[in-house]
Amino acid sequence: MPILEYRCADCGCNYEIFHKVREVLEEIECPSCQSHNYKRLMSAPSINSGIKSVKVSPAPACQYANTGCCSGDCEMFK
């Protein structure tokens, strides 16, 4: 059951439509201006990896932070 994203060619509104089985052209109507003149957009896929996130401690701060830097000579750049 895909959710597809569209852009209205008349008013420029971006909108999504939940299609029950497949894309039905008659269902594609801009919610803003009711136009059927549209362009289908490429959407980023949603992926659920099933991996739980783990809290990670922040990286140690460079000893030269806020001092004008060490020009790359410290341990952070080796």
pLDDT of residue 25: 81
1-45: CATH, from 3.10.129.10, 2.20.28.10, 1.10.260.40, 3.40.1190.20: 2.20.28.10
The per-residue pLDDT string of the chain (78 residues; one tens digit each, 9 = 90 and over) reads 678 899 999 999 999 888 877 777 877 899 999 999 999 998 776 676 677 766 666 666 665 555 555 555 555 555
pTM of the model: 0.52
Task: Provide φ and ψ at 45, rounded to 5°.
Answer: -70, 150
Domain residue ranges of the chain, discontinuous segments joined by + = 1-45
Cα dihedral 32, 38, 42, 47 sign: positive
